[in-house]
Amino acid sequence: MKCPVCKDDLLNHVSLEENVPAYTCSQCHGIWISSGPYLDWLERNGKTLPDMPCMDVQIPEWDSQGFKLCADCGKILSRYRVLPNTKFVLDHCGHCNGVWFDRGEWETMIAHNLLGKINQFFTNEWQVQLREEETKAELDRVYAEKFGPGDYTRIKEVRNWLKDHPHKAMLLAFLHADNPYGL
């Protein structure tokens, strides 16, 4: 097995935290996890994984450049984003489902309690959810900047009050009218 980053260095078998079977590169310190052993591990341990709170760790900014080849089958790896509003990505083989973790990424997975969710990152549903969360956060920032924090808090309260109000349409018409008392 060759390292997807260093290309020439052979990967060494290791057992990671929670006894996840993996391979590591002694030069770049990346980690390769093959799909089969990971799924076996997940089936044995997935229900008993500790539900720990997320630790406050810095998301790794270092990410190896250039394309990477799968350590198992040699196909080109695709990059998938993991957490919203970060540059944290994992490299995934769409052919055999192996995953490459650059230096520091495995530790980030542990810190964010994500060991049992690795395969979810590569789904359309996960990627769409990330984009939705990022869009919401950006719009929240834009509205707060435009309205000011006090007014933005207040308009959100009014919006929540109106949301399920039985006279919502009439209340909105009243607010929208230049002269709600005019004929």
CA-to-CA dists, residue 35 to 6, 105, 136, 150, angstroms: 21, 17, 33, 50
Position 115 scores a pLDDT of 86
Region of residue 146 (phi > 0: left; psi between -120 and 50: alpha; otherwise: beta) = alpha
Report the sign of the C-alpha dihedral through residues 158, 159, 164, 167, in that order: positive
pLDDT in tens, 93-140: 999 999 999 998 998 888 888 888 899 999 999 999 999 999 999 999
> Between these two residues, 143 and 51, which has the higher pLDDT value?
143
d(CA 55, CA 45): 21
Which pLDDT belongs to residue 45? Answer: 78
pLDDT digits (tens, 9 = 90+) for 126-178: 999 999 999 999 999 999 999 999 999 999 999 999 999 999 999 999 999 99
Reported as type and span, the H/E element at residue 132 is: helix 124-147
Residue 8 has pLDDT above 80, yes or no: no
pTM score of the predicted model: 0.76
Q: Residue 108: in which H helix or E strand, if any?
A: helix 105-111
- Phi–psi pair at 42, nearest 5 degrees: -65, -40
pLDDT score, position 128 = 96
- The alpha carbons of the chain give a radius of gyration, in whole angstroms, of 23
Which residue(s) pair with 23 in the sheet?
13, 32
Structure tokens at 86: 């970060």
